């Protein structure tokens, strides 16, 4: 039987070209048994340090923003990345794998919750993303139950397909117009306060989903 307990798991991350040089001093703080995990699609391997620094979960910039807004193709993006890495020998597949490694896992419980919600409500996805991620890692994550992403939503609007990113007014208007949504009867959930504020400015009710909180908790709290 599992009793109540407190689990304390602090984390320190050293990222960059000199990260491994800091390892000896860090190991001195611990005992003799060390578990070392190293990411599989290594950013270090292809030299994408500068790219990693400017990847933001809420707002992209430079080539990443252009890709997310559909202004450049995947091929053009890969060429830019090769230039950033100063390595023309990196393949598109290596770049794709490294880029996709930034996407976290998607709990199956969340997929089940989406299917359950669709039994009584219309569910739409409004996502800042790009063709590389959407057609690869995101597609795979939504197939964990043997279904496809379209099986979880009544409609999907993506930034790269409609050339507009949240929190711009354009992408919210696109969603509302395409699916004939009444803002006063629509609830927008997002983990960015800026995006929630933008939705409200467009007449759409919104609620912030803080880190570590599932969207089902927010729905249950306001019903």
Q: Summarize the confidence of residues 13-39 as an average pLDDT.
A: 59
* Any domain includes 132: yes
**Whether residue 115 is found in the same domain as residue 82:** no
Q: Mind listing the pLDDT tens digit for each residue in 158-216?
A: 999 999 999 999 999 999 999 999 999 999 999 999 999 999 999 999 999 998 888 88
**Which band of pLDDT confidence, cut at 50, 70 and 90, is reported for residue 157?**
very high
Q: Which residues contact 156 (CB under 8 A, 6 or more apart)?
A: 124, 125, 127, 149, 150
Number of domains observed in the structure of the chain = 2
Residue 31 half-sphere exposure toward CB, CA atoms < 13 A: 2
For residue 176, give Cα distances in angstroms to 6, 31, 192.
Answer: 45, 57, 19
**Whether residue 144 is found in the same domain as residue 186:** yes
**Whether residue 94 is found in the same domain as residue 145:** no
Name, of 16-30, 49-63, 140-154, 208-222, the range with top average pLDDT.
140-154
**Whether residue 151 is found in the same domain as residue 52:** no
- Max Cα–Cα distance, the chain, nearest Å: 62
CATH of residue 188's domain is 3.40.50.1000
Above 50 in pLDDT, residue 4?
no
Residue with the two structure tokens 């043997």? 146
**Whether residue 92 is found in the same domain as residue 121:** no
Tokens of 200: 């409200």
**Whether residue 46 is found in the same domain as residue 74:** yes
For residue 59, give Cα distances in angstroms to 23, 51, 56.
Answer: 32, 14, 5
**Whether residue 112 is found in the same domain as residue 218:** yes
**Whether residue 112 is found in the same domain as residue 203:** yes
pTM of the model: 0.74
* Any domain includes 172: yes
**Whether residue 92 is found in the same domain as residue 112:** no
* Any domain includes 162: yes
Q: Which residues form the domain of 117?
A: 108-222
């Amino acid at each position: 039987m599992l009793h109540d307990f407190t689990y304390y798991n602090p984390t320190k991350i050293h990222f960059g070209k000199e990260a491994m040089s800091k390892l000896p001093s860090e190991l001195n703080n611990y005992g003799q048994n060390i578990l070392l995990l190293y990411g599989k699609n290594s950013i270090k391997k292809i030299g994408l340090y500068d790219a990693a620094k400017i990847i933001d979960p809420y707002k992209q910039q430079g080539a990443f923003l252009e890709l997310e807004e559909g202004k450049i193709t995947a091929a053009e993006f890969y060429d830019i990345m090769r230039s950033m890495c100063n390595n023309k020998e990196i393949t598109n597949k290596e770049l794709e794998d490294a880029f996709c490694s930034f996407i976290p896992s998607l709990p199956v419980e969340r997929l089940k919750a989406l299917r359950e919600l669709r039994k009584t409500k219309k569910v739409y996805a409004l996502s800042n993303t790009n063709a590389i991620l959407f057609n690869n890692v995101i597609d795979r994550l939504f197939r964990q139950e043997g279904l496809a992403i379209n099986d979880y939503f009544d409609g999907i609007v993506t930034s790269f397909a409609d050339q507009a990113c949240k929190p711009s007014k354009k992408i919210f208007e696109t969603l509302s117009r395409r699916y004939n949504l009444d803002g006063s009867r629509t609830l927008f959930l997002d983990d960015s306060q800026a995006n929630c504020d933008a939705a409200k400015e467009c007449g759409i009710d919104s609620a912030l989903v803080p880190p570590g909180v599932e969207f089902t908790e927010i729905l249950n709290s306001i019903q």
